[in-house]
A and B are shown apart, each in its own frame.
Chain A
Amino acid sequence: MTVPVVRISALGVAALVVAAAAIVAASVSPLVPTASAYVLSNGCDEYDPATGTYYRCTPDRTTFYTPDGVNPNAVYPGTEYSATYSSTLSTTKTSDPIGIQPLVNISDPIMIPPPAPYSSSKSYCSIPWWAPSPYSSIWNYSCYQHDVCYGSQAGRKYCDVRFWHNMIADCKRAFWVISPSRYACFANAASWYAAVRAFGGSHYKPRTSSFQP
């Protein structure tokens, strides 16, 4: 008579253990997300559950597509000059090897002085006090490169997508894959990229002295 009781008790204990483990796992998992929750099955795309945003990797798996769907590695120097300056600089037109832009303007930047060297003590992002970013310090060199790119007239679209590429690389370097800061960094990068794409055109001017980046 005692054997079945022992069996039931053992099953009951086992069931309790399993149920407790399931409850603990269910309650802890949202607090401690695993990497698999963010990095998608191809091992490169990432998903931010807080905002529901997917970051889609480029085919060479080195960066993400920009928020407007451009592969940064497929945009070449000289892509998309502003009309104001392309008309004043000597330009030649050539086919885009990958066909993203029907035509690209390649300018001869021989008259543009070389850029000032990078200084880590200087802030190159030049954001206003009312729009601070916790990531501006880790993006300082990316901002410098963007400034140099604009000043060198390397192509506005090219400069902006490189800016995105560099900011994403900085975010990945600074924050681990399960850190919420990583995705906040991506989101901030997206807003900066959108701002320079939408409103940066009037500031795409050649460098006038070697004191400028």
Chain B
Amino acid sequence: MRVAAYVLSIVGAIGGFFLAFGAWGVGYCGALTPDVASPATLRDDLCRGTSGDIAGGVVVACALLAAAAPLLGLRLALRRGTAWPLALCSVIGASPIAAVAILAATLPQS
């Protein structure tokens, strides 16, 4: 169970960062590309300036949660002597970054 939790945590960290940087940073905000958001658009608000920095912080927090949740689940699982808290925490922890990826793919670009 410990090995599973560590593996899930590493997968969550790598996958979470890939989705945060790839889906949000590159896919939605246009990092590494010449495409910049037009002023006074939702994309401009979410990707640039102070509000963009805050949105980026939230995205990073979601990625970190995906990495940390399996470790919390392991703690609960060891205390209760069953594996289901590990599975539940991993799924719940991965949900926010998955939601970010879905939002990045569906929010209007302009």
Residues of A close to B40: CB separation below 8 A: none
Main secondary structure of the interface of B (DSSP, over half): helix
Q: Is B20's beta carbon under 8 Å from chain A? A: yes
Residue of B18, B23, B34, B60 ringed by the most chain A CB atoms within 10 A: B34
Our pick among B18, B32, B57, B109 for the contact of A125 (Cβ within 8 Å) is: B32
For A127, give the chain B residue with the smallest CB separation: B31
Report if A126-B22 is in contact (Cβ < 8 Å); known contacts: A202-B109, A203-B35.
Answer: no
Contact B21 A147 (CB under 8 A): no
Closest to B57 in A: A130
Q: Judge whether B60 and A127 touch: CB under 8 Å.
A: no
Q: CA–CA, A127 to B25, complex, Å?
A: 7
- CB closest chain-A residue, reference B34: A147
Residues 94-152 of A contacting B (Cβ, < 8 Å):
125-131, 143, 146-148, 150-151
Q: Please tell me if the beta carbons of A199 and B34 are within 8 angstroms of each other in the complex.
A: no
Digitize A185-213: 1 where CB-to-B-CB distance is under 8 Å, 0 elsewhere: 00000011011101110111101000011
Chain B interfacial residues counted at CB < 8 A = 26
Chain B nearest CB, measured from A133 CB (Å) = 10
Distance, CA A205 to CA B34, complexed state (A): 9
Residues of A within 8 A of B31 (CB): 125-128, 131
CB-based contact A195/B32 at 8 Å: yes
Q: Mark A159-199, 1 if CB is under 8 A from B, else 0.
A: 00000000000000000000000000000000110111011
Q: Chain B interface (Cβ within 8 Å of chain A)?
A: 17-18, 20-23, 25-27, 29-36, 47, 52-53, 56-57, 59-60, 104, 109
Q: Which residues of A approach B to under 8 Å, CB–CB? A: 125-131, 143, 146-148, 150-151, 191-192, 194-196, 198-200, 202-205, 207, 212-213
